[in-house]
Amino acid sequence: MKDIARYVAVKTLCDIEEGAFSNIKLNQYFKRYDMKSLDRAFTSEIVYGTLRNLIKIDYFINKFSNIKTNKMSKWVLNSIRIAVYQIFLWIRFQSMQL
């Protein structure tokens, strides 16, 4: 799998929606896929950043999508969530720290 970090992020977010704890799931996936520290950091930032901004992200998705978040499959929804986080929120955060 080429982009394991994003795959693990989406998989973790789907597991969290089913009641899993984020830190436990992340650690399980880090070990299962033998992820390097840089990939672990990137994945953790995507997961925790998406969770921190979940209400804002879902608002944006519902505002601009014809299909509302409650009608989307969990995999598609969480894929869109991490994309919105990376494009609109993480980049903005990074530029503020320069």
Type of residue at 19: G
Would you say residue 14 has pLDDT above 90? yes
- Which one has a higher pLDDT value, 1 or 47? 47
The whole-angstrom separation of Cα 32 and Cα 21 is: 17
Bigger pLDDT: 58 or 97? 58
Q: Residue 92: what pLDDT?
A: 62
- Could you give the domains of the chain? 4-96 (1.10.940.10)
Confidence (pLDDT) at 90: 74
**Considering the chain, what is the average pLDDT of its residues?**
92
Average of per-residue pLDDT across 17-40: 96
Burial class (CB in 10 A: 0-12, 13-18, 19+), 50: buried
Q: Find out whether 78 and 14 touch, Cβ atoms under 8 Å.
A: yes
**Residue in this structure with the two tokens 């879902």, named with its chain if needed:** 58
Determine the average pLDDT of the residues in 40-56: 96
